[in-house]
Homo-oligomer: A and B are copies of this chain.
Amino acid sequence: MPTRRFQVTIEPRLSGVPFLDRSRGKAVSLLSADETSALAAIGTVVQWPKGTVAYRAKGAADCVYNLVQGVVKTYEILPDDSTSISGFHFAGDLFGLAEQGHYVESAEAVIPSVAFRIPIDALDALLTRNGSLGVRLLCKAADQQRNDRRHARILVRNDALGRFAMFLNLLQELGPQRANVTYFPMSRGDAAQFIGITLEAMSRASSALERARVVRFVDRHHFQVLDRERFDQLVAGAYHPTVGRAKPRAVPGAPRKRTKQKQ
């Protein structure tokens, strides 16, 4: 038997929820066959090994990127030199929209990734000719706006446990998932930055969730939800009625006063 090669067709992919159509599940492919090939015609395929910086903030921006495979993070450097991760992008996403000819953030492949690089002037011309494609892109933009707001919803939580649970939930819905195990592509540090807590707080939250048998990490990059009910409660809101403390905290030296009975 000859060596079998799996030839994967690489083509632009825009996933999202349409404005009006009643789509079954959530995200569907937004592009028709014609639109796909029209985009493919003006773009080129680029491959990024893990860690590749696709573009840098403030650099001249001539192209937008449509991710076909992999995971990419976009981040910006804050005035105090720390970096803030603004988003993780999966297959079907679009990123690299410029401001006055310059990127506003940097992009880096979290795992080996494949993308379509589309010159922005060619895209502009294509859109002017093909109006319905503009609607699709606008729809995708609205989709990504929802993701940004979801990010904000994570960040307004002030309990590390809740933020972490919401992040895992996000990975389940946005990222690839096989059986009931979900892929956790990024480093702990990246995830912690994204949800706005320290690495340590995140690690503690993770341990607490495992101790309480709510989730399980099969390895550092794959997890599964064991107790869907409690997990959803955590994601939904306050309900974290002592999910599991490290130790009963057997009163070391301090006399504890007023036990909270907040219902």
Which residues of A pack against B, CB within 8 Å? 17-23, 61, 76, 78-80, 82, 84, 86-87, 97-101, 104-105, 120-121, 124, 127-135, 137-138, 141-142, 144-146, 148-149, 151-153, 155-156, 158, 196, 235-239
Contacts and interface: CB of A to CB of B under 8 A. Distances in A.
A145 B135 contact: no
Given A99-B19, A155-B152, A135 B128 contact: yes
Nearest to A82: B237
Contacts of A238: 80
A153 to B, nearest CB: 6
A237 B138 contact: no
Contacts of A97: 19, 138, 142, 145
Number of copies of this chain in the oligomer? 2
A181 B2 CA distance: 76
Contacts of A141: 138, 141-142, 145
Q: Which 7 A-B pairs have the closest CB atoms?
A: A134-B134, A80-B237, A141-B141, A155-B155, A79-B236, A148-B148, A131-B131
Contacts of A132: 127-128
Contact of A17 (B100, B124, B128, B131): B100
